[in-house]
């Protein structure tokens, strides 16, 4: 298993600004994921972030809007840029458990973003 | 591509009553199945998983789920719920086809336990 922490836990931001979310894992992991959970909806994968390579974005998500850094095997950041009220969501960091042949994922507590 | 359907968006149930949360999936290949729980203002926590073997899977907090291949279902059950079970529950599926496969989540079911 893996213990994941996220900062901040919540934030209220003004339209047009940016928010950077940090994700810290207590063990080294190869694959990290960023999800968005819009109000009343399920989780949507934003991108997969592997250490040492560019993040892979899902359809509908672009690097200019959601730049991701992955400087080492225990840390990643997601920036949500040029914020609009539609970006109000919970953003979750997730990692793939090591040593498993299937993709069991563990999730952080999430960052609740409100854009005014 | 696989998909997951959780037909019930909200399920109210009285405390100590049994509950069943429904999950159906579609896939052309075999899958791994998961149930996650999300308590208010928290991230997702794994409740239980089906990988292979016995079709009845027991998880944490007294929950269990049964994999039914013919009906492509993976319903979650608990014989007696507590107030603390109030949360949102997500069914998820991963293709069992080797390598890295993305997780597909259902839309979630909000369980509200009534005192």
d(CA B95, CA B78): 26
Q: State the pLDDT confidence band at B106, using cuts at 50, 70 and 90.
A: very high
The pLDDT-based confidence of A101 (bands split at 50, 70, 90) is low
pLDDT of residue A99: 60
Instruction: Supply the pLDDT for residue B98.
Output: 64
**pLDDT of amino acid A82:** 97
The residues near A52 (Cβ < 8 Å, ≥ 6 apart) are A70
Q: Using the 8-state DSSP alphabet, how is residue A30 labeled?
A: S
Q: Are B32 and A102 an interchain contact pair (Cβ–Cβ within 8 Å)? A: yes
Q: Residue B3: which of B109, B85, B99, B102 has the closest Cα?
A: B102
* Structural domains in chain A, sorted by start: 18-97 (2.60.40.10)
- With an 8 Å Cβ cutoff, the interface of chain A facing chain B consists of 4, 6, 31, 41-43, 45, 92, 96, 101-110, 112
CB contact (8 A) between residue B44 and residue A103: no
What pLDDT, on the 0 to 100 scale, is given for residue A41?
A: 82
Average pLDDT over residues B66-89: 96
CA distance A43 to chain B (A): 7
Substitution target in A5, A41, A43, A47 with the highest count of B β-carbons within 10 Å is A43
Q: Nearest to residue A107, comparing CAs of A94, A96, A91, A97?
A: A94
The domains of chain B, with CATH numbers, are 3-114 (2.60.40.10)
Q: What's the confidence (pLDDT) of residue B40? A: 84
Chain A hits for B105, Cβ within 8 Å: 42-43
Residue B4's pLDDT band (cuts 50, 70, 90): very high
Q: How far apart are CA B44 and CA B84, in angstroms?
A: 15
CA dist B102 → A19, B2, B95 (Å): 26, 10, 8
d(CA A3, CA A24): 8
Among the residue ranges A58-62, A96-100, B45-49, B60-64, the one predicted with the least confidence is A96-100
User: What is the per-residue pLDDT for B3?
Assistant: 86
SS (H, E, C) chain B: CCEEECCCCEEEEECCCCEEECCEEECCCCEEEEEEEECCCCCEEEEEEECCCCCEEECHHHCEEEEECCCCEEEEEECCCCHHHCEEEEEEEEECCCCCCCCEECCCEEEEEEC
């Amino acid at each position: 298993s893996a213990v994941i922490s996220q900062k901040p836990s919540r934030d209220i931001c003004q339209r047009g600004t940016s928010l950077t979310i940090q994700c810290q894992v207590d063990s080294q992991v190869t694959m990290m994921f960023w999800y968005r959970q819009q109000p009343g909806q399920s989780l949507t994968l934003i991108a997969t972030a592997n250490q040492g390579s560019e993040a892979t974005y899902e359809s509908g998500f672009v690097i200019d809007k959601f730049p991701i850094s992955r400087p080492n095997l225990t840390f990643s950041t997601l920036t949500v840029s040029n914020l609009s009220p539609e970006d109000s969501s919970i953003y979750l960091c997730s990692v793939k458990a090591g040593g498993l042949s299937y993709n069991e994922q563990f999730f952080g507590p999430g960052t609740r973003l409100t854009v005014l | 591509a696989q998909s997951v359907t959780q037909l019930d968006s909200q399920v109210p149930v009285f405390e100590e009553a049994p509950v069943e949360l429904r999950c159906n999936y579609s896939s052309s290949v075999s899958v791994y199945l998961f149930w996650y729980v999300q308590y208010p203002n928290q991230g997702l926590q794994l409740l239980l998983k089906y990988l292979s073997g016995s079709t009845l899977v027991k998880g944490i907090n007294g929950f269990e789920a049964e994999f039914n291949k013919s009906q492509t279902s993976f319903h979650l059950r608990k014989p007696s719920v507590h107030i603390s079970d109030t949360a949102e529950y997500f069914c998820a599926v991963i293709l069992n086809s080797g390598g890295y496969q993305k997780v597909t989540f259902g839309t979630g079911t909000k369980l509200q336990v009534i005192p």
